[in-house]
């Protein structure tokens, strides 16, 4: 039974993390493989950006919290909607940003009933381009992950996007000079999904 305010805070934060994890992992990967360490680490790192328009990616990531509340009415019975959002009121995490971008890609650009929901395809594609998709719990390396993520956020990756979220072989534009949204469009144009 949840009885103290710290218990409630922990419950809300844990349920939100489980919701994020399950959004991209439940029924999508083998039950024998866990990516919890990777997801927790990505959720522990605040998304930082240097191109002003990437603020939109952070806003989208934070907006996932509203989706969480609206799709999990049982949590509102614990405490009110505003209290839940207050508990979750922290900077956007790298995990939230990537998941929100995958959702936005699917829902606003690539939605096609013939293919079904491909949010996971976009999400795992970004993790692969970033170079962390192999980091299951058994292969997780926090130091390596931190270097990769901070190199990404500080735009220290290949001009074709390798090491960033969108690898576009042969890209004529330097991806490190573009905001994430523009990089995504170059990726989607190059790979006709």
Q: How many CB atoms lie within 10 A of CB 33?
A: 11
Q: How many CB atoms lie within 10 A of CB 140?
A: 18
Query: Whose CA is closest to 43, among 82, 86, 98?
Result: 98
pLDDT of residue 126: 96
Give kind and range of the element (H or E) at residue 69.
Answer: helix 55-71
pLDDT of residue 30: 60
Query: Whose CA is closest to 69, among 56, 87, 42, 57?
Result: 87
pLDDT of residue 2: 47
- Supply the pTM of this predicted model: 0.91
Cα–Cα distance, 77 to 25 (Å, whole number): 26
Query: Whose CA is closest to 37, among 25, 53, 49?
Result: 25
Q: How many CB atoms lie within 10 A of CB 34?
A: 16
pLDDT in tens, the chain (193 residues): 445 788 888 999 999 999 999 988 865 566 678 999 999 999 999 999 999 999 999 999 999 999 999 988 888 777 888 999 999 999 999 999 999 999 999 888 776 777 767 788 899 999 999 999 999 999 999 999 999 999 999 999 999 999 999 999 998 999 999 999 999 999 988 765 4
Contact predicate 156/130, CB 8 Å:
no
Q: What's the angle, vertex CA 121, arms to CA 14 and CA 158, rounded to 5?
A: 95
Which parts of 61-170 are beta strand (E)? none
Cα–Cα distances in angstroms (integers) from residue 76 to residues 20, 65, 83, 140, in the given order: 17, 13, 9, 34
């Amino acid at each position: 039974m949840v009885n103290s305010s710290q218990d409630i805070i922990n419950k809300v934060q844990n349920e939100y993390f489980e919701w994020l994890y399950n959004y991209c992992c439940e029924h999508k990967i083998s039950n024998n493989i866990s990516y919890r360490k990777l997801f927790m680490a990505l959720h522990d790192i605040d998304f930082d950006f240097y191109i002003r328009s990437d603020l939109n990616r952070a806003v989208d990531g934070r907006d996932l919290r509203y989706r969480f509340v609206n799709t999990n009415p049982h949590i509102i019975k614990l405490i009110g909607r505003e209290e839940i959002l207050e508990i979750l009121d922290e900077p956007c995490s790298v995990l939230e940003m990537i998941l929100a971008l995958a959702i936005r890609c699917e829902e606003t650009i690539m939605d096609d009933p013939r293919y079904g929901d491909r949010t996971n395809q976009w999400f795992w594609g970004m993790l692969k381009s970033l170079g962390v998709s192999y980091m299951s719990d058994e292969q997780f390396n926090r130091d390596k992950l931190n270097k990769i993520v901070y190199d990404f956020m500080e735009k220290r990756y290949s001009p074709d996007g390798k090491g960033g979220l969108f690898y576009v072989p042969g890209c004529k534009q330097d991806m490190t000079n573009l905001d994430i949204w523009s990089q995504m469009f170059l990726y989607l144009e190059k790979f006709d999904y």
